[in-house]
Structure 1
Amino acid sequence: MTSLLLLAVLFGSVILVVLMIYLGDRVKRLEIMSLHDSSEPAEVVKPKNDNGFLGLSGKKLWDAMSGKVPEGFVEADVVALKRVFEVVLKNHIETLFKLGKRDATSGNSPETPKNPLEISTLRHSIESWIPAQHVSTIYKAGYESIGADEVSVSRLRANLDDAADTLFSRTALAIKQPFSERLFAAAVALPATGSLIELDEESLNVDDSDNASQLPD
């Protein structure tokens, strides 16, 4: 009887030892799997593409700068962008004017520029949109400035400044220098009809590289 009891105790002890070894090995495997999973980088949710204007571009950007704060945006954050948008708007106006001059100089027929137009700043490239009537006015001012007489130049300067003033006013920005002073500064006006002034042919070949904005291809 005693032998059977000792045998049962021994057998139970063996089973207990085997079970402890199995459980220990199982726990070790679970720990290794847990460490392996934690070492893998967690999937990072990429933020929305920030173009420097909280992701706004084109007409949405224009509307925001004109006082129509998009849903989900904080007004203070949108207003803070105006200083940078001033550079975009300035480059947009200059680019449209110079596109007109380029087409006229190349002998191309006037075309309607893209709207929105890709405008580059020092840090970003942004699709800039402005009302179509101002796109046409600014482009035509540049196109018709080539070979224009003094009377036409005065009219084109006024048209350019009126369009620029309207755009800056609608976005609550101030123009520090009339655009006509810079964009027409290098222009050489032909004499009015009937004038006897003779022009040196070389004076018509004006270098327009100063204050140039990058033109789209």
Structure 2
Amino acid sequence: MATGKRPRGELRQALITASFELLAESGLAGFSVAELARRLGVSTAAPYRHFRDRDQLLAAVATQAAGELAEAMEAAAADAGEDPVDRLAATAGAYVRFAAARRAGFDVIFARELRPLRDEALAEAGRKLMALLLDLARDAGHPEPADALRSIEQIIALAHGYVTLDTGDFLTGARVSEEDVATRATRAVATLLRGSLSSARAG
């Protein structure tokens, strides 16, 4: 357990970083600032010098998660090549990798319990993440906002489903690595997207 006094900015970031680990174990419902302080070796009052309350701390965690996820998705899309469908599908693999590493995803970034805060930093991070996905969806053949949003919904549902199956050990018998899971999610989304486009053109 870490002990000793930290500089103000360092403790703030340490609280956010340790929060990811605690969320992975307890989820949002079981998240405890007191337990977080204990793990960091600081007083139970120390976190409240940086965050007004538990929800404000969680909002900072969600803001960082949204920024990191957007960067990971953007990098994955860039690495996927020129095909717009492959670029969009690559975001599913990025989501799986991110959730495996951080044990946090849209369930934390867009958590219902944080919405009443109207935290501007979190709202802006969420907008940037969705703007990235919307741009990729439009490029992949969904120019209408409603169609693009529906496509994103399907991608996240599929990717998050793979994450849930993996973390729940459902895929253990198949002996797949986290990278295998990410690849499966990417391929499944690519198949879904191409099937959807073919159906639209045929109709």
Q: TM-score range by the shorter chain?
A: 0.3 to 0.5
- The TM-score with structure 2 as length reference comes to 0.36
**Structure of larger gyration radius:** 1
- The TM-score with structure 1 as length reference comes to 0.34
Bigger relative contact order, structure 1 or 2 (CA pairs below 8 A, ≥6 apart): 2
